[in-house]
């Protein structure tokens, strides 16, 4: 029977999730076996009913358990191949390293900032109405979600996007693969920011594109260098450059759009965390300034929706939509139809705006606390960037150890970190070690012990507190 280890750093809901997942995958809990009610399991384990509900929701979302109206959840039927494959994955995970206690690397939303009960209510409504699911079966994405996103993007980002020009995907990777495929007849090279978004760079590289790294200036991408780069395709993050956080001013944006017109080029704008700005007004999207169909807009909701909802969207100009439609039979919709339908309702009801307001307050508080703690523990030996947007801050310091060695030292203290050198195509070692630290997946009440663990790891590695 399930036993909760209250001394373990693993959250209680994850312990519950892992237990039932393993029981179902191994076949010890057969299809149709009733799970304990949430109330009885909460009473048995001595934890809150809400914690049990989080675990059950995740199991149901992944298909391990199923619910029926006014009845307890029960174990779902897994195919033999699926069960064998899942068991193999479970054993591999168990035999490897344990989950990191302090995840400074993930930018995903932690469940402390998301109303799971409300999401479950919407999911139940969708799953109870087959007509909604049937209407959502479209390879380009559920029509209801594309309509909702059309209005949402215009109101929040100034993006002009007809529903017919939006493509939905399960994260940015499948959307970038579609884009790389339809552009390959005209383009073979793509310019990227240096440093820049590593996943985007690698997806295009795997598609046969030559990667052309371009340096950043204080105002973002060096457009003059782009003009000399002999490429008609560029990937940029102008509203909140990843990973430096720089913002491209409007003058530089118009200069970039002029380059695209003059060179018959295309701009891929990745607007990955545009909703999360804490000072001043949100920076409008570059796409809203485009009058020549030169900007391809890429948006993601991973910073405002929990990790198990992977929905991103691509907005193609009319000429590229024609190319997409000609090749459409080659592409398959990768995002869950029920989740698309739920998200459509979530946006239409106004709950998305409420969620973003909640997260702005939460992340602004966590960002300020993270800055304070890093400065308190490390003193003047380190430079800590201010958090004005997003869920990351940068820390820089001199050390005789490499970023790779410091990353391993952090792991030994239970901290997973992102070294800045990983975002460069051609990194130059100048003795300054830079890391991008996320506070999104670390609970507010655990931030101090997380920073203390990082301080222990890196003080031994040559970072001295001079404060």
Q: Domains in the chain and their CATH numbers?
A: 12-75 (1.10.10.10), 129-349 (3.40.640.10), 354-461 (3.90.1150.10)
Q: How many CB atoms lie within 10 A of CB 11?
A: 17
**pTM higher than 0.85:** no
- Nearest one of 191, 196, 251, 197 to 226, comparing CA atoms: 191
pLDDT in tens, 324-353: 999 988 898 889 999 999 999 999 999 999
- Nearest one of 146, 108, 124, 155 to 350, comparing CA atoms: 155
Burial class (CB in 10 A: 0-12, 13-18, 19+), 340: buried
Coil, helix or strand for 277? strand
Tell me the HSE value of 30 on the side-chain side, using a 13 A CA sphere: 0
- Looking up tokens 């994955």 gives 89
Coil, helix or strand for 221? strand
pLDDT in tens, 278-328: 766 667 899 999 999 999 999 988 878 887 888 999 999 999 999 999 998
Cis? peptide before 180, omega within 30° of 0? no
Virtual CA dihedral for 226, 230, 235, 241, nearest 10 degrees?
-20
265 pLDDT exceeds 50? yes
Q: How many CB atoms lie within 10 A of CB 243?
A: 23
pLDDT in tens, 59-77: 887 778 887 666 788 888 8
Tokens in use for 28? Answer: 């010890």
387 pLDDT exceeds 60? yes
- Looking up tokens 């209407």 gives 135
pLDDT in tens, 160-205: 999 999 999 999 999 999 999 999 999 999 999 999 999 999 999 9
Number of H helices, E strands in the chain: 16, 16
Residue 267, phi then psi, degrees to nearest 5: -115, 125
Tokens in use for 29? Answer: 């809990």
Parallel, antiparallel or unpaired: strands 312-315 and 166-169: antiparallel
């Amino acid at each position: 029977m399930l036993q909760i280890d209250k001394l373990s750093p693993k959250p209680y809901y994850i312990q519950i999730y892992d237990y039932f997942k393993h029981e179902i995958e191994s076949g010890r809990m057969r299809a149709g076996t009733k799970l304990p009610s949430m109330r009885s399991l909460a009473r048995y384990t001595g934890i809150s009913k809400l914690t049990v509900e989080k675990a059950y929701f995740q199991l149901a979302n992944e298909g391990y358990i199923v619910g029926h109206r006014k009845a307890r959840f029960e174990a779902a039927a897994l195919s033999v191949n699926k069960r064998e494959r899942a068991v193999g994955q479970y054993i591999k995970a168990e035999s490897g390293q344990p989950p990191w206690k302090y995840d400074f690397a993930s930018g995903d939303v932690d469940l402390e900032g998301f109303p799971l009960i409300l999401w479950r209510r919407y999911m139940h409504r969708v799953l109870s109405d087959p007509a909604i699911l049937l209407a959502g079966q479209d390879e380009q994405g559920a029509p209801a979600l594309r309509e909702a996103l059309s209005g949402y993007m215009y109101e929040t980002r100034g993006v002009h996007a007809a529903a017919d020009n939006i493509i939905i995907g399960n994260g940015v990777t499948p959307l970038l693969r579609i884009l790389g495929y339809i552009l390959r007849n005209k383009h073979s090279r793509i310019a990227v920011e240096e440093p820049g978004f590593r996943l985007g760079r690698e997806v295009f590289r795997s598609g046969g594109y030559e990667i052309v790294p371009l340096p950043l200036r204080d105002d973002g991408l060096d457009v003059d260098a782009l003009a000399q780069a002999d490429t008609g395709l560029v990937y940029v993050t102008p509203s909140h450059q990843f990973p430096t956080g720089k913002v491209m001013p409007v003058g530089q944006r118009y200069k970039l759009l002029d380059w695209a017109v003059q060179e018959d080029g295309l701009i891929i704008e990745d607007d990955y965390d545009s909703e999360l700005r804490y000072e001043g007004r949100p920076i409008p999207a570059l796409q809203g300034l485009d009058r020549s169909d030169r900007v391809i807009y890429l948006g993601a909701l991973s910073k405002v929706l929990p990790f198990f909802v992977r929905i991103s969207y691509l907005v193609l100009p009319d000429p590229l939509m024609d190319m997409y439609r000609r090749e459409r039979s080659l592409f398959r919709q990768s995002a869950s139809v029920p989740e698309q339908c739920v998200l459509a309702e979530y946006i239409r009801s106004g709950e998305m705006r409420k969620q973003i307001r909640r997260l702005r307050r939460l992340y602004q508080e966590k960002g300020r606390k993270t800055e304070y703690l890093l400065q308190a523990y490390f003193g003047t030996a380190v430079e800590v960037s201010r958090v004005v947007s997003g869920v990351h801050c940068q820390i820089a310091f001199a050390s005789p150890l490499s970023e790779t060695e410091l990353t391993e030292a952090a792991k030994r203290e239970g901290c997973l970190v992102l070294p800045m050198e990983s975002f460069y195509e051609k990194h130059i070692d100048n003795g300054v070690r830079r890391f991008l630290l996320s506070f999104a997946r670390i609970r507010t009440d655990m931030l101090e012990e997380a920073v203390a663990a990082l301080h222990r790891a890196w003080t031994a590695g040559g970072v001295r507190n001079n404060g």
